[in-house]
Structure 1
């Protein structure tokens, strides 16, 4: 590279923790037109992978200065590729390179080293997610490292604000026991793409706030399921890390200020404004959304409102977030603001084993309407 010797090695908590946190604070995430997001890992740089079955963090040093970092996790998931329907996948996240050291090949060196760890761990596929307008990420992963565009899910964001939603009396709600929730997930969702084989560990994690079902009033919840029902689980991402919006578009700032002013001046109108995202905030992530029956869309919307009201009682929770398949009709029933949401996140994937190449091409040609299960541990 001509800038000194690049040293890529495993993360050392005693030596690297403070330096990785500093790097994270200096590296923006997201497209500039919607405003950069900055991450506060609350003193734990590996917080976003710590709850995964197997994980690793790799750092890059140049002249004894920490200039880059990358994280990866491994799990077994459902993935539709003949002749098998299970695969060991490695997820790439948290790639950061210090602003003054970009365009020197540090990012690609970190990815390659993480792929080597994946291969040594028996991983079939590596995948990552990025914004569709992130040119630097696209050029690195797709054009340089051979990843292929795989799915384009939508990230839906609903701000948490007052007043709380009114919940219709037409529906009943029930919080499920973990064992019951796990049984339902395995029965109805285990064939979904990227459904994790260790769903029970996710549901039992302390960050998982619970699983709720909704169904029409007058019907009962039991061995025979109601004519229409919906289910969601909730993950408290704010206990893991905080986000802060920087370089927000003028339109967003003006709308935030004006809506807050209207809410103060005319409280009787119950004006819903955008919360203050300029200071660190947490969010709830809705995962495992499932529905059945003619009224199920309304039931999903009602459950999302229930989660919003839960989040409103948490002082630092400013948003409720979920992610659904790009063509999934669920998005019509999940409350969200277009100004804050991302209509097309981009997942890219790469086969790591030579013997998997043929089935890999079958995998990426699968219709994009297939429903995705988004693991809350990878948000």
Structure 2
């Protein structure tokens, strides 16, 4: 049975918006068994890439049927030994293929077409992120398209409750001006792989709620505290919403019973799961950095502060943080193990022959302690 010729073209908002929105609603996110996340892009299918310097969305059609989509963005970052080395990188995200048309090469065709756009824009490396256990994605990118493992960050997810977290009286919190935050990030994090050169644009974006620093009370921020930590917050819920689907009955029963117990017996400290079955937003913590013997405690205090900020939002149900797999800051960031991903797999591919040797060195170099995850790529 023939399905016609596969056509891959650029996304046309006037013609494709409604079709892509409907297509996305039917596609689950992630390979988890029995539990799926569905996205609501709030009428803007390219919302996840719109804040990137350069971006593009491709759609795949068989006949008049929309069968696949993919998105990509391009930016300039530091690589290997910054700030001396810079590279233009293309990020691949949002690859979706209709369940009725899988295993027909549509996914690989979309990736290859996007790579051609990267090459036309002088991109040095293409990279993507997926769950380590997503066998279909790993097989496509690593086995078929020659991508190699680059990093294995940890994604930490913490539910937001209406209870306010206690902030230690021994810690001083300060909201940093954009210029100050930018200067600190450039000084301390520009030595990390893939640090975005346009960090100032990220911090000035309307979705960035601010940057905060924590240090011991009694010490001076301007005088370089003995210990300090900082992080920034991005309001991803303004771009798109998430919804849980196909959850186990036990999870649904626990959600409802925990709320009932909390109302009847508020003194009982039973963890309460937010209502994930209706569309919800989330805050993304990025740019986590710390120095000094007490910095772990300071990171935890900052995370509690962000939780209290999120608890005042009717829409924010979870706080998400992504840190390097070897970054011990993850031990101090509150999260639920059942909701988190211990190993998110980043894969990379050199698009220029002269970059292939540096790619080998790049992937074999032990990852730095800190990792700056661009919130525009969440």
Alignment TM-score, normalising by the size of structure 2:
0.97
Cα distance in 1 for partners of 2:165, 2:81 equals 42
Q: Is 1:235 matched with 2:231?
A: no
CA shift for structure 1 position 259 = 2.1
Residue correspondences, number: 378
Tell me what 1:4 maps to.
4
Q: Is 1:261 matched with 2:249?
A: no
Cα distance in 2 for partners of 1:169, 1:178 equals 26
Output aligned runs, 1:295-314, within 5 Å: 295-314=294-313
Residue pair 1:287, 1:375 contacting (<8 A) in 2 also:
yes
CA shift for structure 1 position 84 = 5.7
Output aligned runs, 1:73-88, within 5 Å: 73-80=73-80, 85-88=85-88
Cα distance in 2 for partners of 1:248, 1:103 equals 27
CA shift for structure 1 position 34 = 6.5
Tell me what 2:280 maps to.
281
Cα distance in 1 for partners of 2:259, 2:78 equals 45
Residue pair 2:81, 2:191 contacting (<8 A) in 1 also:
no
Tell me what 2:188 maps to.
188
Cα distance in 2 for partners of 1:280, 1:83 equals 41
Superposed CA RMSD: 1.6
Further displaced range: 328-337 or 365-374? 365-374
Output aligned runs, 1:354-365, within 5 Å: 354-365=353-364
Post-superposition Cα deviations, 1:111-131, rounded to whole Å, max 9, x if no partner, equal 000000001111111000011
Cα distance in 1 for partners of 2:35, 2:242 equals 12
Residue pair 2:189, 2:370 contacting (<8 A) in 1 also:
no
Residue pair 1:326, 1:369 contacting (<8 A) in 2 also:
no
CA shift for structure 1 position 270 = 4.2
CA shift for structure 1 position 249 = 3.4
- Matched residue of 2:108: which SS? helix
Tell me what 2:346 maps to.
347
Cα distance in 1 for partners of 2:322, 2:248 equals 23
Q: Is 1:226 matched with 2:229?
A: no
- Matched residue of 2:321: which SS? strand
Output aligned runs, 1:192-207, within 5 Å: 192-207=192-207
Gaps of 5+ in 2: none
Tell me what 2:119 maps to.
119
Cα distance in 1 for partners of 2:353, 2:134 equals 29
Gaps of 5+ in 1: none
CA shift for structure 1 position 369 = 5.0
Residue pair 1:75, 1:196 contacting (<8 A) in 2 also:
yes
Output aligned runs, 1:44-55, within 5 Å: 44-55=44-55
Cα distance in 2 for partners of 1:361, 1:371 equals 21
Tell me what 1:58 maps to.
58
Post-superposition Cα deviations, 1:244-264, rounded to whole Å, max 9, x if no partner, equal 111223443343233223212
Output aligned runs, 1:244-259, within 5 Å: 244-259=243-258
Tell me what 2:324 maps to.
325
Alignment TM-score, normalising by the size of structure 1:
0.97
Further displaced range: 53-62 or 30-39? 30-39
Residue pair 1:175, 1:212 contacting (<8 A) in 2 also:
yes
Tell me what 1:162 maps to.
162
User: Relative to 1, partners in 2 of residues 1:207 and 1:82: Cα closer, same or farther, differing over 3 Å?
Assistant: closer
